[in-house]
Amino acid sequence: MSNNITTIATLLSGGEGVGVGARAAGLRHLWGIEIDDDIAQVARDNGFNVITAAIQDIDPHTLEVPDVLHASPECQNASNAKNVKGADTLEEKETPLDVEIAGCIMRYLEVLQPRIFSLENVYGYRRFQSFKMIMVALARLGYFSDVQHLNSADFGVPQTRNRLILRAVRGGLVPPLPAPESWIGWYQAIEDLIPTLPESEFAPWQMARLPDSFDNNFFMMIQGQASDYLTTKQPMQAITANHGAAKYRAFIVDGQNTKSVSARKADEPALTVTSGDKGMPRAFVVGQNYGSPNNTGQERKLNVRTADEPIFTIETNANRLLTRAWLSQGRVVKMTPRCLARFQSFPDSYRLPDHNGLACRVIGNAVAPLMYEKIIRIMSSNTTPAGLGD
C-alpha cells in the first residue's frame, strides 16, 4: 500500500462491510466500535476487533491511531421514507442524538487525525446540522473534502444502492473516483445458488397481478418497493434497514421458451424443474408497492426486475424477508440471507448469523464491501503525502 496508508478503524461499525472492503484493498483493520452487541459479535466472528460500546463512552486517546477512519452514523432519521412525529421537513427529523453522535465523530477526528476520513449515509444526511458540523471540523483540521451521491451499482455491486459518500484527506487533495462500471444483474450474482434454494410459493393476489406475457425477459418482484419493469441488465434496488415486510420473488423461465410463458394460477400444480437441454433457465423477481391488502386504500402494484438487473435495496430489519424464484416449470424458491449478502457484495467467506433477522440487519445496514474496497483502494494509492496539515 503506497504512501504508508496501511490501517483502518471504524466508528458505528455494524457488521464491518467497510472492514471487509478495506481488507480486500490490503488495509489492516485495527478496531471498530458498535453499540449493538449481537451485530458486533457477527463482526468479531468474521475476525474484526469490534468493541461493543457507544462511541460516546470510549476515550479516543486510548485507541491506536489508524491511517483511515470511517464512520456510518445512524441514517434512518435522514431518510425521506422515515416518518418522524411533528417533523414536516427533512431538517426537522434531526434529533439531539444525531447531533451528539456528530460531536463524538468530531472528537475522534481531533484526537486521532487520521490521514483519510470517510463517511457513509443516506443522501438526506447532508441537510442535517450534524453533517455540517463534521464538515466544519474537517476544514478546521486541515482536511480537503469531497462529497458525492454514489450508486453502488457503478462499482460492480449488483444492487442500485445510492448513498452519500464523504471522502477527506488531511493536508492533501482528494483523488478522483474511477469511471462508473457496467452494471451487474441480480441473476448473475446468485445464479449458482438457485438450485439450492428452499421451496416457496406466491400468494393468489400476486399471481393475479403478473403480466400475461414475459416477452423473453427475466423479472424480479419486490414486495414493498416502488419500481417499473426493469431489464435484465440492471442491478437489484437497494436493500435498506426500514422495510421489514419486504419479500422477494424471482421467476425463472426457460431461455428458449420465454415468449410462450404465462403466469401460473395459484391453484395450479407446480411442476418439477429439470435441467434438460433447452438452455440456461431465465428469471425475474417481482413485488408490490404497498403493504398488506386492505390496509392502505391503494391499489397494489408489482415491481419487476429482470435477471441481469441489480437487486433492489436490501432491507435490514427483515426477519420475514424472503426472496423467491418462480421457475418456468412452476417451482418457486425463497432467497436466503446468503443471496442478499451476494447482492450487497459480501464474499461467501463472510460468516452470517443463523438468525435470519439478524443476518438481514447486518447486510442491509452495511456499506457494500466491493464499493468501499474500490473507493479506499484509489484513496490509499493516490493520496498526497501528509505535510500540509501536520
CATH class of 2-182+365-382: alpha beta
Tally of CB atoms within 10 A around 37: 12
**How many residues are listed for the chain in this entry?**
390
Phi (first) and psi of residue 49, to 5 degrees:
-85, 80
What are the residues facing 304 on neighbouring strands? 221, 286
- The one-letter code for the residue type at 306 is T
Order the strands of the 50-52 sheet from edge to edge: 50-52, 28-34, 7-11, 68-71, 116-121, 162-170, 143-151
In whole angstroms, give the CA distance from residue 374 to residue 339.
22
Domain ranges across the chain: 2-182+365-382, 194-335
In whole angstroms, give the CA distance from residue 333 to residue 312.
18
In whole angstroms, give the CA distance from residue 58 to residue 19.
20
* Cα distance from N-terminal residue to C-terminal residue, the chain: 21
pLDDT tens string, the chain, 390 residues long: the values are: 346 899 999 999 999 999 999 999 999 999 999 999 999 999 999 999 999 999 999 999 999 999 999 999 987 676 655 554 555 566 778 999 999 999 999 999 999 999 999 999 999 999 999 999 999 999 999 999 999 999 999 999 999 999 999 999 999 999 999 999 999 988 788 888 878 877 666 555 555 555 554 443 445 555 434 333 444 556 777 765 543 323 565 655 444 444 444 443 333 333 332 223 233 334 555 443 333 444 444 444 444 555 666 666 665 544 433 444 443 344 566 778 898 899 999 999 999 999 888 988 999 899 999 999 999 999 998 865 554 434
In whole angstroms, give the CA distance from residue 192 to residue 347.
14
